[in-house]
Amino acid sequence: MHKTKFIFVTGGVLSSLGKGLAAASIGAILKSRGLRVSVQKLDPYLNVDPGTMNPMQHGEVYVTDDGAETDLDLGHYERFLGTPTTRNNNYTAGRIYYQVIMKERRGEYLGGTVQVIPQVTDEIKAAILSVASPEVDVALVEIGGTVGDIESLPFLEAVRQLKKELGPFNSLNVHLTLVPYLSTSGEHKSKPTQHSVKELRSIGIQPEIILGRCDSTPLPADIKRKIALFCNVDEDAVFSAVNVKNIYEVPLRFYHEGVDQKIAILLQLPAQNPNLQPWIDLVEACSHSNGEVTIGIIGKYVELKESYKSLHEALAHGGLANRVAVNFRYINAEDLSEQNLNQQLKGLNGILVPGGFGTRGIDGKLLAISYARQNKVPFFGICLGMHCVVIEFARELAGIAGANSEEFDPASPDKVIYLMSSWYDHRTGKTQTRSHDSDLGGTMRLGSYPCKLTPGTIAHQAYQAEVIHERHRHRFEFNQAYMEKLKEHGLVFSGFSPDGALVEIVELQGHPWFLACQFHPEFKSQPMNPHPLFKDFIKAAKAHKPA
Ligand code: GLN
């Protein structure tokens, strides 16, 4: 095989049916058939990227190695496929339109009228084709939103054109819809699916495969037949996508339904049985834990788990590595006070302060850190969590009463965390500058950076490596003017940028496990390859007997 084949995944009836998971799962089975797979997400909203969107609305912002701020579905793709994504794996309508408008301003359209068809659709097609390469056998392209939305029309039109241009056996459309079950009449209803496919066909796209999302009962044969007849697809191309307890079961479910076999026929892929043993082992490991731990996550967006998606997964992976089930207790930092601290944090095996932006909830996070430090509860701080650790340590142990982050108090006399105006960027090989009034989108340290570990530390013990690479997304850094003073009082600096200018990890000795890092390790944890820091944090949590 040399030409990349495309599978376009669309969604019908309503949102949140799990297109991302469906795409990632199909990708995983195809990969286990020995194919090289890439997955791309196209988001129809007009933000240029999700970087500035509220996690409460959009869920977590996932960061790639090359520093793109992307949709959280890319996290699923990496976790299911085990291969890193890049900025080419996520395009929004905003980014597409931005590119078109920039071209228009530069005069690249040579005075022509710029229209949705063909200029915008051409830009979308170029974005889709950017994932094609001699190294990719099959590219899955997930179109965000629901068929029928005004926003997704240019994307679907681009897909229609591409399907035609790619020619037979080189592309197909998998349409994921909802097939509700009516308990009063005791039957599955196919009408919403029929309407959704009718809508797709009116745009000129005939789906080849229909995945009917249903609750725990698979679709009966007569309903599948009915959907096939009304939607003009093969009878053996309608599959059930049932609710599962554990998302890592989905590839196995799809395989048992025969999804990959049908795809292989339709795309003329080489006949090959998938090796799904690693997935069988994973699902087995998920259902056989030896005990449980409860981790308290002291955050701001506790109402919506999606805003901490990768973190949630990484903790679960840490549990898998230690054969324990991980229970999550999301605690709103704003609800914590000195009076209720013991009560609120009682019974936890570990405490974690995740990344975040802004001042809301900082006092509660500092209280939780003091509690974990004093009560020797395993503790993990990430990004903003590390900033809070440094502040708490400086105030409580090093006697710097006014210690703060420039982000929380720009007038603080002791900015132990500050905005570095100039720093060497190991990723681009250039010195970067940033000022206090540069625009918010452009001043973050984003993407993968090397970090040198100090031998004999918790970090070194976890990674068993001299140099590691982790992904960043932040504006503020540790202020090295305070390093000696904090060292004197016992703060251990265990990870630095290779030139020593940036502090990447701090930790405490004489504590079962207390570590905080400037980067976001959760983005690189995978179920088949749990992240070393999450593995060791959960190991310590497992050993901790809460009061
Ligand atoms: N708000 C902090 C900064 O910009 C931390 C960011 C984060 O936790 N991702 O540096």
Counting from 1 in the atom list of ligand 1, the atom nearest the Cα of 356 is 8
pLDDT at position 518 is 98
Q: How far is the CA of 475 from the centre of ligand 1 (A)?
A: 6
Helix (H, G, I), strand (E, B) or coil at 268: coil
Q: What is the mean pLDDT of residues 515-520?
A: 98
For ligand 1, the distance from its centroid to the CA atom of residue 278, given in whole angstroms, is: 36
49-78: b (≥16 Cβ within 10 Å) or e: bbbeeebeebbbbbbbbbbbbbbbbbbbbb
Instruction: Please write the tens of the pLDDT for every residue from 147-160.
Output: 989 999 999 999 99
Q: How far apart are CA 547 and CA 542, in angstroms?
A: 14
pLDDT in tens, 469-488: 999 999 999 999 999 999 99
Q: Of 357, 443, 518, which is best to mutate to test ligand 1, by the most ligand atoms within 8 angstroms of its C-beta?
A: 357
Catalytic member of 214, 231, 286, 383:
383
Q: Is the CB of 523 under 6 A from ligand 1?
A: no
The pLDDT, as a whole number, for residue 441 is 47
For residues 334-357, give the mean pLDDT.
Answer: 95
Residues 6+ apart with CB under 8 A from 228: 210, 234, 235, 237, 238
In angstroms, the CA 8 to CA 11 distance is 10
Mean pLDDT of 242-257: 93
Query: Is the pLDDT confidence value at 439 over 90?
Result: no
SS3 assignment, position 456: coil
Check whether 443 has a pLDDT greater than 80. no
The residue to mutate among 475, 502, 504, 518, having the most atoms of ligand 1 within 8 angstroms of its beta carbon, is 475
Q: Find residue 327's DSSP bridge partners.
A: 294
Q: Is the pLDDT of residue 415 over 50?
A: yes
pLDDT category, 423, cuts 50, 70, 90? low
Which range is least confidently modeled, 39-43, 188-192, 374-378? 188-192
Ligand 1 atom with the smallest distance to the CA of 357 is: 1
pLDDT of 1 strictly over 60: no
Chain centre to alpha carbon of residue 469: 17
Given a cut of 90, whether residue 283 has pLDDT beyond it is yes
- State if residue 473 touches ligand 1 by the CB under 6 angstroms criterion: yes
Range with the poorest average pLDDT among 133-137, 172-176, 355-359: 355-359
Model confidence at 442, in pLDDT bands (50, 70, 90)?
low
Q: Which of 476, 477, 517 is the best mutation target for the ligand 1 pocket, counting ligand atoms within 8 Å of the beta carbon and taking the most? A: 476
**C-beta 474 within 6 A of ligand 1:** yes
pLDDT bracket for residue 201 (50, 70, 90): very high
Identify which has the larger pLDDT, 433 or 79: 79
What pLDDT does residue 425 have?
A: 72
Nearest-CA residue for atom 6 of ligand 1: 474
Is the distance from CB of 383 to CB of 473 less than 8 angstroms? Answer: yes
At 386, the amino acid letter reads M
| Tens digits of residue pLDDT in 74-127 | 999 999 999 999 999 999 999 999 999 999 999 999 989 999 999 999 999 999
Q: What distance in angstroms lies between residue 100's CA and the mean position of ligand 1's atoms?
A: 32
How far, in Å, CA of 216 to CA of 18, rounded? 15
User: Checking phi first, is residue 283 left (phi over 0); if not, alpha (psi -120 to 50) or beta?
Assistant: alpha
Whether residue 170 is predicted with pLDDT greater than 80 in this model: the reply is yes
Report d(CA 106, CA 227) in Å as an integer. Answer: 49
Task: Give the model's pLDDT for residue 402.
Answer: 94
The pLDDT assigned to 304 comes to 63
Percentage, residues of the chain above pLDDT 70: 96
- Split at pLDDT 50, 70, 90, the class of 444 is confident
Residue 163 main-chain phi, psi, to 5 deg: -55, -40
The answer, yes or no, to whether residue 133 has pLDDT greater than 60, is yes
- Compute the distance between CA of residue 368 and CA of residue 380 in angstroms, rounded to an integer: 11
Angle formed by the axes of helices 277-287 and 250-257, to 10°? 130
- In angstroms, the Cα distances linking 254 to 99, 184, 247, 516 are 37, 29, 12, 39
Is residue 504 predicted with pLDDT exceeding 70? yes
DSSP three-state, residue 425: strand
Query: How confident is the model at residue 162, as a pLDDT?
Result: 96
Where are the strands (E) in 53-156, listed by range? 62-63, 69-70, 90-92, 138-143
Does residue 520 have an active-site annotation?
A: yes
**Which pLDDT tens digit goes with each residue over 361-388?**
999 999 999 999 999 999 999 999 999 9
